Structures are given as C-alpha cells and as structure tokens.
C-alpha cells in the first residue's frame, strides 16, 4: 500500500490477535501512512489482509526487513522483540514494543499516552515500550485521581479475560463450555493453556510464580506503575486472576492518596479526562462490566466509594479491553506522537 504522505509503518506479528487489532486501529484512526508492511513468521508469509481497500501480503520477518521503515509496531513475543528490535533500530526505525522484554530497561520509555506522553521524546535506543495490559487499564483510572490527590499506594485484584492468553485461551474456554453444556466432563486433554479448568471457574494465577509468591504478571503492575507514574516508592500489591470471560480485563482497586478524597469530585474528573469514563450509578445497577468495553477504545470506572479501612482512600472498579487499549490502541497512540 502506498500514498503521497505519511510514515512507512510495519506490524511485526501481523497475523496474531494484537497485530490484527493494530491493523484495525490504524484504519479506524486514519493514521497517516505512506506504506504499510506486514511481517510474520515464515509459516504465515503469503497471507493477505485488507487495509483501506487494498490487499496487503504478509512478508516473512527477517533481520533485513526494516530498510526504509519509519515505525515498527512489535506485537509478537518477547523473544521476537529481543531478536529483531535491534535490527529495526539499526535500520533507523522507531520500535514500539508490546512485549515485556524492554519495559524495565532504564533507557527505554514505558508509555501510556494519556499519562506520560512526554517520555516518548527521550528514547536513546529508539525503542518505546507498551506497558502490560492490566497496568494500562488500572492506571487509566488512577492517574486522573493521582493528579488531584497524589497517589500513595495501590491494592488491586484483576479479573483477566482468557484472550489475554491468545487465541488458544479462547479455544480452551470454548471447548470446556461445550463439553459441560453437553453434560460431559472437562478432560485433561482440554487443559493445555491453564493449570486448572477455566470454564465455571476462576484461577488465581496469571503467569508463573516468583520466589516471593507473586506471579510475574503481578510484579509487572508493581514495577510498571512506579515507572510510568515516576513514583519509585509507590506501594503496590496485586493479585491477578484468570476468569472465564472472552475479552476485557476488570480490576478491583483500593487506592490511597496523600490528600483527602471526595467521591463526587472524583466521579466528575473522569468526565473530562480522555480515554476513561465513569459509569457509576449503582442504585440503578449501573457499573462497568467486560461487555461494556469489548471492542471499545475507552476504559470505564465505577463502584467509586471511600474505602472503609484506609485513610484518604478510594475503592473502585475499572474495566478495559486488554487487546485494544491494553495493547494495540496504546501502541498506535504512541506511534501517532512519534516525530
């Protein structure tokens, strides 16, 4: 695909769920593109995808794939980013990486555009990292409050959709639901992605456990929140849970602040902040649920109330589409700000 103006973009991992969502975001947001290159593994090369009325053929990803490309959106695994991002930057390309590989590197900015867009300007390695999906969804609700009250600590529990495990997570849930619906048991052959049955169940484990008893997913919330907010001493405790929902993550948060909090004031601030909206009328059973944000750009926050244990603290519930704002959209928003 070519045009008379704009940037030459590449999507690495273009055939995966996040890569496909990136393609959709670029088209919906009318991103100024002069040329679009789709890259994937050798087994996916040759597939064609429509973009702005033109079919684009997927090319095999190699170390020589990046000549002439301005921005590369990496949507694949950390192993792919580790191997190929240096080749991209050596070719003069700005890398926006959705994996966890570069997130904690001191010389790589970790960016949520609504929160710390200015960090994009300082990128000595020409790499910008996309945060973890759960971190993004959580901070979209907390940052407007942080600006008002000064964030002191976060205690969170996530309720994460199976699409966070990729297409195989959805397939596993659907197979188990089908079996149970037919009166059949869930067998070990139906449990390849998760260590336990996910249908009609919840699993208090996302990613592997570390020595301190927290999973890697939970520690991402700790380390990434501190970096994005530039609060190195921020206290964070998180429990990440996989739930039998197809798409959109939910997070229960108790946030303590330096200043006294006000529920009505907090609710009002979300009405004027980009990317986050309040749905908070519990007397009418109105609060965010995963279906509200599925395939939507904005995150939703509700159940806003003063915490009954901690001083100057709010309890709230935030929901966001982890494939869109938690991954693809956030990366495209970063690309829109790259000069």
Closest to 222 measured CA to CA, from 148, 141, 138: 138
Q: Answer yes or no: is 40 within a domain.
A: yes
Q: Count CB atoms within 10 A of the CB of residue 184.
A: 11
261-268: average pLDDT: 96
Identify whether residues 290 and 174 lie together within a single domain.
yes
Specify the pLDDT at position 2: 37
> Containing H/E element for 57?
strand 54-57
Q: Is residue 162 located within the same domain as residue 81?
A: no
- In this structure, the answer to whether residues 290 and 332 fall within a common structural domain is no
Query: Are residues 311 and 332 located together in one domain of the fold?
Result: no
Is residue 160 one of the residues assigned to a domain? Answer: yes
Q: Are residues 257 and 149 in the same domain?
A: yes
Residue 274 lies in a domain: yes
* Burial of 311 from C-beta contacts in 10 A (0-12 / 13-18 / 19+): exposed
On the question of pLDDT at 310 being above 80, the answer is: yes
Q: Does 4 score more than 70 pLDDT? A: no
The reported pLDDT for the residue numbered 317 is: 98
Mean of the pLDDT values across residues 143-171? 97
Summarised one tens digit per residue, pLDDT across range 117-150 is 999 999 999 999 999 999 999 999 999 999 999 9
Predicted local distance difference test score (pLDDT) of residue 50 = 97
- Is 146 a known active-site residue? no
Q: Are residues 185 and 72 in the same domain?
A: no
For the chain, helix, strand, coil in percent to 5 are 35, 25, 40
Q: Is pLDDT above 80 for 3?
A: no
Query: What value does the mean pLDDT take over residues 311-332?
Result: 98
Name the percent of the chain lying above pLDDT 70. 99
* Total-model pTM: 0.95
List, in sequence order, every residue forming a beta bridge with 240; answer none if it has no partner: 158
Question: How many helices (H) and strands (E) are present in the chain, helices listed first?
Answer: 9, 14
Q: Note whether 158 and 43 are same-domain residues.
A: no
Q: What is the mean pLDDT of residues 237-255?
A: 98
Active site residue 299: no
Please report whether residue 285 resides in a domain: yes
Each residue's pLDDT tens digit, 36-57: 999 999 999 999 999 999 999 9
Query: Smallest Cα–Cα separation from 244: which of 177, 326, 295?
Result: 177
pLDDT tens column, 209-225: 999 999 999 999 999 99
- pLDDT, one tens digit per residue, over 51-101 is 999 999 999 999 999 999 999 999 988 999 999 999 999 999 999 999 999
Q: Has residue 1 been placed in a domain?
A: no
**Do 288 and 252 belong together in one domain?**
yes
Q: Is 274 exposed, middle or buried (0-12, 13-18, 19+ CB in 10 A)?
A: exposed
Q: Is 300 found in the same domain as 151? A: yes
2 in a structural domain:
no
Task: Compute the average pLDDT of residues 158-166.
Answer: 96
Once rounded to an integer, what is the mean pLDDT over residues 301-311?
98
Exposure string of 240-252, with b = 16+ CB inside 10 Å and e = fewer, is bbbbbbebbbbbb
DSSP code at position 131: P
Catalytic hit among 25, 93, 101, 133: 133
In 10 A of CB 131, how many CB atoms?
Answer: 27
Q: Which residues pair with 302 in a beta bridge?
A: 317
287 and 309 part of one domain: yes
Residue 217's H or E segment, with its range, is: helix 216-229
Q: What is the rounded average pLDDT for all residues in the chain?
A: 96
Long-range CB pairs of 118-123 (<8 Å, 24+ gap) are 120/334, 120/337, 120/338, 123/94
Is residue 99 domain-shared with residue 186, that is, in the same domain?
A: no
Task: Let me know: does 81 contact 75? Beta carbons within 8 Å.
Answer: no
Cross-strand partners of 305: 315
Distance in angstroms (rounded) separating the CA atoms of residues 201 and 112: 32
d(CA 243, CA 250): 10
**Number of separate domains in the chain:** 2
Assign residue 284 the CATH number of its domain. 3.30.360.10
Question: Residues 288, 319: contact at Cβ < 8 Å?
Answer: yes
Give the pLDDT mean for 230-244. 98
Residues 209 and 118 in one domain: no
Quick one: pLDDT at residue 231? 98
- Options 93, 238, 249, 299, the catalytic residue: 249
**Is residue 180 one of the residues assigned to a domain?**
yes
In a domain, 75, yes or no: yes
Measured CA to CA, the distance from residue 182 to residue 197 in angstroms comes to 16
pLDDT for the residue numbered 76:
82
160: containing domain: 135-322
How confident is the model over 112-120, as a mean pLDDT? 98
SS3 (DSSP) at 279: coil
Look up the CATH number of the domain holding residue 75: 3.40.50.720
For 111, the token pair is 């960016």
């Amino acid at each position: 695909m070519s045009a008379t103006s704009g940037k030459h973009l590449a999507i690495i991992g273009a055939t995966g769920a996040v890569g496909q969502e990136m393609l959709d975001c670029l088209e919906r947001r009318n991103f100024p593109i002069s040329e679009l290159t789709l890259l994937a593994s050798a087994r996916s090369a040759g597939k064609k995808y429509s973009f702005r009325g033109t079919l684009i053929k997927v090319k095999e990803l190699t170390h020589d794939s990046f000549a002439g490309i301005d921005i590369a959106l990496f949507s694949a695994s950390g192993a792919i980013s580790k191997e190929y991002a240096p080749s991209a930057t050596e070719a003069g390309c700005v890398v926006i990486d959705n994996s966890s590989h570069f997130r904690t590197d001191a010389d790589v900015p970790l960016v949520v555009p609504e929160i710390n867009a200015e960090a994009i300007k300082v990128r000595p390695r020409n790499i910008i990292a996309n945060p973890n999906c759960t971190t993004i969804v959580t901070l979209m609700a907390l940052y407007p409050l942080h600006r008002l009250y000064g964030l002191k600590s976060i205690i969170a529990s996530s309720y994460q959709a199976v699409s966070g495990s990729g297409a195989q997570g959805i397939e596993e849930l659907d197979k188990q639901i089908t079996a149970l619906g037919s009166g059949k048991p869930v067998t070990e052959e139906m449990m390849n992605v998760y260590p336990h049955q996910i249908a009609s169940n919840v699993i208090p484990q996302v990613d592997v456990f570390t020595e301190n008893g927290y999973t890697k997913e939970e520690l991402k919330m700790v380390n990434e929140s501190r970096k994005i907010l530039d609060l190195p001493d921020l206290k964070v405790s998180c429990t990440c849970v996989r739930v039998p929902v197809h798409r959109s993550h939910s997070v229960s948060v108790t946030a303590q602040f330096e200043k006294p909090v006000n529920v009505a004031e907090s609710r009002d601030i979300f009405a004027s902040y980009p990317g986050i909206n309040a749905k908070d009328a519990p007397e009418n059973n109105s609060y965010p649920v995963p279906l509200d944000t599925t395939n939507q750009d904005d995150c939703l926050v509700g159940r806003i109330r003063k915490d009954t244990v901690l001083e100057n603290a709010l309890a709230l519930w935030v929901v966001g589409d982890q494939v869109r704002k938690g991954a693809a959209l956030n990366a495209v928003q970063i690309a829109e700000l790259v000069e």
